[in-house]
Amino acid sequence: MDVRDIKKLVLQGENGTIEFKRKVRHPEKIVREIVAFANSSGGKLLIGVDDNGTIPGIKYFEDENFIMQNAIKELCRPGVDYETHIVKFSEDSAVLLYDIKESRNKPHFALLERNHHYGKAYIRINDRTVQASKELRTIMKYRNHHSSPGFSYGDNEKLLLSYLGKHEDITLKKYSDISALTQKRASEVLINLALNNVIEIIPGEGEDRYVFPH
């Protein structure tokens, strides 16, 4: 990884697999990006790059890298797989690049504070990091263990599939409304069908959508 590689990445702009940060000002917030990449398709976090694509670099890059690596170690649960690259632009300026691998141990959580035992799971949607829904977290967990609950096909499932036969997608709230199921029970049906590949979950910033697989 060299200066030319960094410039090529920056030219792509922020997207589903690339995120820029000017400096390590709030490492506990930056960890959310790390977790989101691990829970999605992997990605690259560049520190020392402005949102507009300029590359001022960071002066005390060794110190900031130490702070960032400690935050990743202490605030990501379970731990994530990543590589660190320090790319010098001059003697006193560098860009830190963290190459996060897509995890086989999803979902990962960003702890709210050090020594806490709970946190929040995040995913990447386009150039944004958003919190993963309970449904998506459950689906990740089952798929991580290559398992799924038993498949059932009753009136609730028939209603859902009939609706999708006439509409492009459905949300948890919409399904709960048309089926008169509680959101908890509606959630269970959607998760079950998604895990059995009858429908597909499309994560969203507001609500997830469920569609027939393409």
What is the number of structural domains in the chain?
Answer: 2
Averaged pLDDT, 4-21: 96
Verify that 13 and 94 share a domain, yes or no: yes
100 and 141: one domain? no
Query: For 45, phi and psi rounded to 5 degrees?
Result: -105, 120
106 and 196 assigned to the same domain: no
Are residues 127 and 141 located together in one domain of the fold? no
Percent of the chain with pLDDT over 70: 97
Pair 172, 206: CB distance under 8 Å: no
Asked whether residue 60 falls in the same domain as residue 149, the answer is: no
Contact 106, 80 (CB under 8 A): no
The pLDDT, as a whole number, for residue 111 is 93
Q: Are residues 118 and 181 in the same domain?
A: no
Domain that residue 187 falls in = 136-211
Once rounded to an integer, what is the mean pLDDT over residues 85-95? 95
Global pTM? 0.91
Placement of tokens 């959101």 in the chain: 183
Which of 75, 104, 132 is the endpoint of a domain?
A: 132
Determine contact, residues 68/27, Cβ cutoff 8 Å. yes
Task: Report the pLDDT averaged over residues 4-27.
Answer: 95
Whether residues 126 and 149 fall in one domain? no
Same domain, 200 and 149: yes
Are 95 and 89 in contact, with CB atoms under 8 Å apart? yes
Residue 146 amino acid letter: H
pLDDT in tens, 99-143: 999 999 999 999 976 666 679 999 999 999 999 999 999 999 998
